Amino acid sequence: MFSIIQAAGWPIWPLIACSILGLALIIERFISLKTDRIVPPKLLDEAIMVSNASIPGPDVVAQLEQNSVLGEVLASGFRTLNSNPKVSESDLRSSLEGAGRQAAAKLQRYLGALATIASAAPLLGLLGTVIGMIEIFASQGSAGGMGTSPGGGDPTQLARGISIALYNTAFGLMIAIPALIFWRYFRARVDAYLLVMEVASERFVRHLIRVRK
């Protein structure tokens, strides 16, 4: 592996940094976007059951908020009613919508960085290719001019230029393709979570209005 890095030249180092960062982001998103951390299946039913008789107190609301991202959204509805029991339905919806926007920002964290890596890696590979081509032309033109005389050019420099060009192109694609795949996968997963939370919030608002009356 070290010999490949040496053959690829210095342009490979930004690609290695991108690969390490991309792998770290993918692992982090896999851990953070687990269903139990975002939308536990029975959380909405439990929140409705707890508040059937009356709006729960601050301790229960704090536990709900710490449960998951959906818990944060539902807790915002409880807090709004606890602070103002006569709050209008539109203000109550606005409270949950604001919490939902914060939840969406939390779910989409680092996805922009992963998309940037997917876009930048092929360009960095192209940069390495250009540098390799420059070394090839430099080696051919250094003596005899593009091999027009016997012994013209440096075969070692020629081989090095080809190595830089090919290795960097390959590494750029090897980083960009998985990064793009995982970015699209996480985006689809986040969109699915947001849809679930939107439906749950609508159902929860109707429940809170019923309880308040």
Q: Report DSSP state, residue 93.
A: H
Residue range 170-192: mean pLDDT, rounded: 95
CA–CA separation, 182 and 165 (whole Å): 27
Q: How far is CA 101 from the centre of its chain?
A: 17
CA distances from residue 40 to 15, 44, 71, 88 in whole angstroms, order as listed = 38, 8, 9, 28
Provide the pLDDT confidence category of residue 187 given band limits of 50, 70 and 90: very high
pLDDT per residue as tens digits for the range 126-145: 888 888 888 777 766 655 55
Residue 37: its pLDDT value, please? 93
Provide the pLDDT confidence category of residue 7 given band limits of 50, 70 and 90: low
With helix as H, strand as E and coil as C, how does 156-173 read? Answer: HHHHHHHHHHHHHHHHHH
pLDDT per residue as tens digits for the range 92-135: 999 999 999 999 999 999 999 999 999 999 998 888 888 888 87
Residue 148: its pLDDT value, please? 47
Question: What are 84-89's contacts with CB under 8 Å, separation 24+?
Answer: 85/55, 85/212, 89/205, 89/209
Q: How far is CA 58 from the centre of its chain?
A: 33
More confident residue, 83 or 145: 83
Give the rounded percent of residues in the chain with a pLDDT score beyond 90.
54
Residue range 60-73: mean pLDDT, rounded: 92
Amino acid at 204: F
CA–CA separation, 175 and 178 (whole Å): 6
Residue 8: its pLDDT value, please? 62
